[in-house]
Amino acid sequence: MGIEIERKFLVTSDAWRAGAVGEEYCQGYLSQYPNPTVRVRTQGTKAFLTIKGKPSSISRPEFEYEIPFAEAQELQKLCITPLLKKTRYKILDEEMMWEVDEFHDENKGLIIAEIELDHPESSIKRPSWVGEEVTMEPRYANSNLAIHPFTEWMIEDGR
């Protein structure tokens, strides 16, 4: 069984951008919590179907399968959520691979850094541009951002 162990953080500056090259992602959800989350994603010229179970702390079951790109595009038409668009950058810092997601459209302005770990107790050294941890805050889940975009929170929070 596949297990995803991931922590998420807000990004506090543009220091990570130096030399960063991104790839465009477009994803939608065929099923969401409280059921298993089923995501269909295109990234660049590849496509994936991902099934994620209920989180337990920072880990959860995850199964990911590469699928034909054209089939992913058809599956995205069946999604129960609007499609979520972002650019993902991979940043190597202190021998740790960070993924920085810069969101677009209704989530513009939100930038999140994620790190996948081998063990829930693994220690990490945060780069200077990594701020507050939001791993356990559901509103930062991509599946939630698809239906409750970041720009809506800013209005609700009076920002």
4-26 residue pLDDT tens = 999 999 999 999 999 899 999 99
Token pair in block for residue 58: 């920072």
Q: Which residues are catalytic?
A: 29
How far apart are the C-alpha atoms of 138 and 54, rounded to whole Å? 12
H or E element that contains 27: strand 22-31
Q: List the domain boundaries for the chain.
A: 3-156
Token pair in block for residue 138: 């559901």
Span 33-42, average pLDDT:
92
72 confidence band (pLDDT: 50, 70, 90): very high
127 confidence band (pLDDT: 50, 70, 90): very high
Q: Which long-range contacts (CB under 8 A, 24 or more apart) does 115-118 make?
A: 115/6, 115/7, 115/9, 116/4, 116/5, 116/6, 117/5, 117/6, 117/7, 117/58, 118/5
Share of the chain above pLDDT 90, in %: 82
pLDDT of residue 155: 67
pLDDT of residue 49: 98
147 confidence band (pLDDT: 50, 70, 90): very high
Span 47-52, average pLDDT:
97
Q: Tokens 């399968």, residue?
A: 65
CATH of 3-156, one of 2.40.320.10, 3.40.50.2000, 2.60.40.10, 1.20.1260.10: 2.40.320.10
How far apart are the C-alpha atoms of 20 and 96, rounded to whole Å? 15
pTM of the model: 0.93
